Structure 1
Amino acid sequence: MTSPLALSDRARTHVRTFGSEQQPVLVVDDVLADLSLVRGIAARHSFRPIGPHYPGIRAAVSERVVMPLADPLTALLTEIFALDRAPHYAECFLSVVTKGGGDLAPIQRLPHFDGTERGRIAVLLYLGDTETHGTGFYRQRSTGFESVTADRFAAYEKALRDGVAEHGLPVGYIGEGNALFDRIFAVRGRANRLIAYRGNTLHCAALPEGFAPDADPRRGRLTLNLFLSA
């Protein structure tokens, strides 16, 4: 039986680059053959908070379940991100944002990165209906960094500490930026759209001003977050 997460024959791919580092982003539209079926399956999962970084609740998804989505894209991902080998499953979650801007922990008010390894690839599938709930990518103003590698980490961390000490934290989601970070690119969260990008790029959920979270996976900002390693 074909997996509900199998890549659709109608899927359309294109590649964008952004910023002074010319970081690539793979965008795939019309990813799933039956989006409503996958939403229904997602709604039956048990969600809970996992870790301090994500502003919401998550449910783990196994390699067996999710890789029918990623396997057809591995050759393209290897080429786009100049990987030494094909990427493999690291972890995966269904995720629902449940925090409004005023409820965020300090670490959730800033762009983040998923690791310093160039071979860590983030794959994000938008399952909700709200196109305004996308993903933004950022540049640290004081260093000019758009990604954080191992050799940049110490300088990035020092600049972040110094910047927060001088300017404070954003009051909510960072949006288009602040004194510390400038948003340099954004992808709209169109339903049934997948994006893939290097996990060491500075990124954050791009949510509209006045965003009102909904913890119900059938109505809230529901995404599938897959992490690959090469």
Structure 2
Amino acid sequence: MARTVSEPAITVHRVGREAQPVVVIDGFSAEPDALRAAAIAASFGPAAQHYPGIRAALPPAYVPTHLAVLAGVLGPVLGRGGAVDLIDASFSIVTTPPAALDIRQRLPHCDAFGADRIALVHYLAPHHADGTAFFRHRSTGFETIDDERAPIFFGQLEAELRHGGVPPARYVTGDTPLFERTLEIEARYNRALVYPSYLLHSGAIAPDALLSGDPADGRLTVTAFLSVG
């Protein structure tokens, strides 16, 4: 008897004052257990680009398999039409203890400045609820950082850090003197989060989180970056 696969459930949040869309897709993959098995068999290594953990290659079919679901949100919800190009995608696990975080990893960040860029996080750890939080920079009011805003934001942030000191050695999960949290999405098994890459955000990693590098136990996700249009 064939197994019944439920349709993904899509919820759209409009974040903060800028009302940018953040899309939650529950039941994103038809075969999440197979993805976990692939991750457990994969070879992980140190991540680049300031990601606080390790990464491994995805099965080649991952992105093509999920394009139909993504197409249902990229145009109608996110307002991004046109061809979808994959920039980067991998299995990812946060492993860096709070005490070892560099300054950039203690602050909200954006992944790209272009309006055509989209980020995807697919949560694949059944027992981890640490999701993703989104933020507003208090002094500028910015919730997104594009090419025009980038020099203003980074100049102001540098001045704030120079005069106010570096942030504590921990992952940013809530309000801080410099940033206000606008939304937090809890991780659930086989939940995906899709959002514009220029939104200020951070992994919402609890202080007591298990930061194992074992994909069977750690905060296993897929992270992907797309260009649309």
Fold conserved (TM > 0.5)? Answer: yes
Structure-1 residue corresponding to 2:91: 94
- Out of 142, 145, 150, the residue aligned to residue 148 of structure 1 is 145
Mark the runs of 5 or more structure 2 residues left unpaired by the alignment.
Answer: none
1-structure distance, mates of 2:23, 2:220? 20
* Deviation by residue 1:45-103 (Cα, 9 ceiling, x = unmatched): 11111214100000133654322113332142122222242432221010011112111
Structure-1 residue corresponding to 2:27: 30
Mark the runs of 5 or more structure 1 residues left unpaired by the alignment.
Answer: 1-7
TM-score (norm 1): 0.91
CA contact (8 A) 2:23 2:194 kept: yes
Structure-2 residue corresponding to 1:157: 154
Root-mean-square deviation (Å): 1.6
**1:189 equivalent in alignment to 2:200:** no
* Deviation by residue 1:177-225 (Cα, 9 ceiling, x = unmatched): 3111111101000111011000000010001222231110011000001
Q: 1:34 to 1:64 in 2, by over 3 A?
A: closer
- Is the deviation greater in 120-129 or in 159-168? 159-168
Secondary structure (helix, strand or coil) at the match of 2:76 reads: helix
Residue 112 of structure 1: how far off its partner (Å): 0.9
Q: Read off the aligned partner of 1:46 and give its amino acid letter.
A: S
Q: Read off the aligned partner of 2:197 and give its amino acid letter.
A: G
CA contact (8 A) 2:135 2:201 kept: yes
- Out of 148, 172, 175, the residue aligned to residue 174 of structure 1 is 172
Q: Read off the aligned partner of 2:175 and give its amino acid letter.
A: G
- Out of 67, 71, 95, the residue aligned to residue 68 of structure 2 is 71
Number of equivalenced pairs: 223
CA contact (8 A) 1:63 1:91 kept: no
CA contact (8 A) 2:212 2:219 kept: yes
Structure-1 residue corresponding to 2:44: 47
- Out of 5, 14, 18, the residue aligned to residue 17 of structure 1 is 14
Identity %: 34
2-structure distance, mates of 1:156, 1:133? 27
CA contact (8 A) 2:28 2:69 kept: no
Q: Read off the aligned partner of 2:209 and give its amino acid letter.
A: F
Secondary structure (helix, strand or coil) at the match of 2:75 reads: helix
- Out of 198, 222, 225, the residue aligned to residue 224 of structure 1 is 222
Structure-2 residue corresponding to 1:127: 124
Residue 18 of structure 1: how far off its partner (Å): 1.2
Q: Read off the aligned partner of 2:110 and give its amino acid letter.
A: F
* Deviation by residue 1:117-146 (Cα, 9 ceiling, x = unmatched): 011000110000234210000111110000
- Is the deviation greater in 138-147 or in 83-92? 83-92
1-structure distance, mates of 2:215, 2:174? 26
1-structure distance, mates of 2:31, 2:155? 46
- Out of 85, 103, 106, the residue aligned to residue 106 of structure 1 is 103
CA contact (8 A) 2:137 2:178 kept: yes
Q: Read off the aligned partner of 1:211 and give its amino acid letter.
A: A
